[in-house]
Amino acid sequence: MAISREEVLHVAKLAYLELSEEEVARFQEQLSAILDAVSKVAELDLSDVPPTSHPLEIANAWREDEPRPCLPLDEVFANAPDRDDDFFRSPPA
């Protein structure tokens, strides 16, 4: 299952990852090999098998919908690279 250079670049864009030329070439080779190995899952007949998304059968684990104190704003922003008053600042979208 070879993955093309274009596919590597497409996925990198989806994943918000800037890649160097060297990384593009290396990931193309490595991801092809890994996809080859994991494609083994397609060998099984799974037509009557439901998917498992979670190992326990838990549904609707709610708590009471009551307001509780949250973190003070100074703590919320404690690790922010760029704070502007009560906002996180980022370059323009």
Partner 1 sequence: MIDTLRLTAERARELLRIGEVSGAELHAAYRAAIEEHNGELNAYLTLAEGPGATDGVPIALKDIISTRGVRTTAGSRILENYVPVFDATVAANCKAHGLPLLGKTNTDEFAMGSSSENSAFGPSRNPWDPSRVPGGSGGGSAAAVSGGLAPWALGSDTGGSVKLPSAFCGNVGLRPTYGTVSRYGVIAFASSLDQVGPVAKTVRDCAFLYGVISGRDENDSTTVDVPKVELPEGDDLRGLRIGVPRQLNDVEGIEPGVKGAVAAAIAQAEALGASVDTCELPLSVDYGLPCYYLIAPAEASANLARYDGVRYGLRSQGDSFREMAMATRHDGFGDEVKRRIMLGAYALSSGYYDAYYGTAQKVRTVIKREHDALFEHFDVLVSPTCATTAFAVGAKSQDPLAMYLTDVLTIPSNMAGLPGISIPCGLSDGLPVGLQLIGPQFAENTLFKVAHALETAIGFDYVPERLR
Which chain residues interact with partner 1 by CB under 8 A? 3, 7-8, 10-12, 14-20, 23, 27, 30-31, 33-35, 37-42, 44, 46, 49-56, 58, 61-63, 71, 75-76, 78-82, 88, 90-93
The least distance separating partner 1 from the CB of residue 46, rounded to whole angstroms, comes to: 4
What six digits make up the tokens of 12? 């990198």
Distance CA 83, CA 80 (A): 6
The least distance separating partner 1 from the CB of residue 85, rounded to whole angstroms, comes to: 15
Judge whether 26 and 42 are in contact, CB under 8 Å: no
Closest CA to 5 of 37, 22, 39: 22
The least distance separating partner 1 from the CB of residue 56, rounded to whole angstroms, comes to: 5
